[in-house]
Amino acid sequence: MSETSNSVTESPSKRLGQIEFIALMGILFASVAFSIDAMLPALPQIAAELIPAAPNSAQLIITSFIIGMGIGTLLAGPLSDSFGRRTIIVVGAGLYVLGAVVAWAGQSLEMVLLGRAIQGLGAAGPRVVALAIVRDLYEGRQMARIVSFAMMVFTLVPAVAPLIGSLIIAEFGWRSIFPAFIIFSVLSVGWLVLRQPETLPKSKRRPFSFAPFRRAVIEVMSHRAVALSIATQTLIYGMLFGAIASVQPIFDITFNRAEAFPYWFGALALICAIPSLVNAAIVVRFGMRRLIRTALLVQCLISAVALLAMTALPFGIDAQFFIYYIWTVCLFSMLGFTIGNLNALALQPMGHIAGTASSVMSATATLLGGALGAPLGLAFNGTPIPLAAGILVLGLIAWGLMRIMPETLD
């Protein structure tokens, strides 16, 4: 793969090899997935200890993290444009560790939610700035390819996160998951500090002030392709967050498979690494817009069939489980053909403000996606039917938006 001419690394001779770079970016992206997925097996214990009268509210532990992450995402990119990529990732890691300590010590649901929100605020650093690092070094379809490979690494963490979480929780209790988060953050950010040179030299940094930030936000939001990308990502994140918030209760309450949940979820994550690999192999040939649109259409068709099978056909509980599981695999697989491509598509005209553009895009999509996903999760009524219906609606809207996406940037 050729490197683009817009590389800004001050010490090109010290640049990481591409394999290590992809692995590092994948791990930084995965800090969010690990923080969410390793927490899922703890929800029943947290509900029993802190909120026995309202166990469904335990899902807010996922939502609070997402909200904190959305807020942090708005700041991390612009700050990284001013102070450098590595500095902001390290500061974010510090906030993440602080949030883990607060949640570990919390004796009420409210304190745990506060700690999780702080964790999310800090996790925005690695999540957003890692994408800006990739944009510093690559652009267009080559960037989409790098992000696809990194997303493949990213999917390996969700494959093992619930199992790791369940083992830690079974041995030491649900609070012990928070020291595990601290260890993960120290190792991943330590790798960055030791190995990855700064990709934004001081000569290319932008002084931080509100006026340039406001102008950058206006530029991002007024660009038709970028705005459509943000709206599509919002809908996809709504689908994803609703599915993640509901997955453990569905396994536990609907299908009585709580003990096997980490293994089923791990298999799901491993399967979903394949689409990212396929996308990386074909995106240069077929283009980002076409792959996104096709993936959304296929997901809508599969959601409609699954919804029909779960509501109108007389399947037994085991058959219902496999229908739900296959549908979930297809839903998560869609991410491999959409999120990375949408980011690359939107950042194509925003290279001069990559950090701010990444922040605005990710913050908007995350916050609004969380707002869409939370009611999908809380609508759980003992069956996956409300979730499937909501995701079908969101998918159709997203597909419609991609039908009007301009082709000029692809």
**pLDDT tens for residues 218-239?**
888 888 888 899 999 999 999 9
- pLDDT band at residue 87 under the 50/70/90 scheme: very high
Asked if residue 404 lies in contact with residue 228, where contact means CB atoms within 8 angstroms, the answer is yes
What pLDDT is stored for residue 294 in this prediction? 95
Q: Where are the domains of the chain?
A: 14-403
Of 1, 72, 59, the closest CA to residue 359 belongs to 72
**pLDDT tens for residues 175-188?**
999 999 999 999 99
Residue 159 has pLDDT above 60, yes or no: yes
Cα Dmax for the chain: 66
Percent of the chain with pLDDT over 90: 40
Percent of the chain with pLDDT over 70: 94
Quick one: residue 317, left, alpha or beta (phi over 0 = left, psi -120 to 50 = alpha)?
A: alpha
What pLDDT is stored for residue 370 in this prediction? 86
Asked if residue 356 lies in contact with residue 216, where contact means CB atoms within 8 angstroms, the answer is yes
Mean pLDDT across the chain, nearest whole number? 86
Looking at mean pLDDT, say which of 14-28, 77-91, 92-106 comes out highest: 92-106
- pLDDT band at residue 14 under the 50/70/90 scheme: low
How far is residue 138's CA from residue 67's CA, in Å, rounded to a whole number?
29
What pLDDT is stored for residue 344 in this prediction? 81
**Does CATH place domain 14-403 in 3.90.1150.10?**
no
How far is residue 277's CA from residue 220's CA, in Å, rounded to a whole number?
29
Residue 12 has pLDDT above 50, yes or no: no
Amino acid, single-letter form, for residue 43 = L
- pLDDT band at residue 4 under the 50/70/90 scheme: very low
Question: Count H helices, E strands: the chain?
Answer: 16, 0
**pLDDT tens for residues 278-335?**
888 888 888 888 999 999 999 999 999 999 998 887 788 899 999 999 999 999 999 8
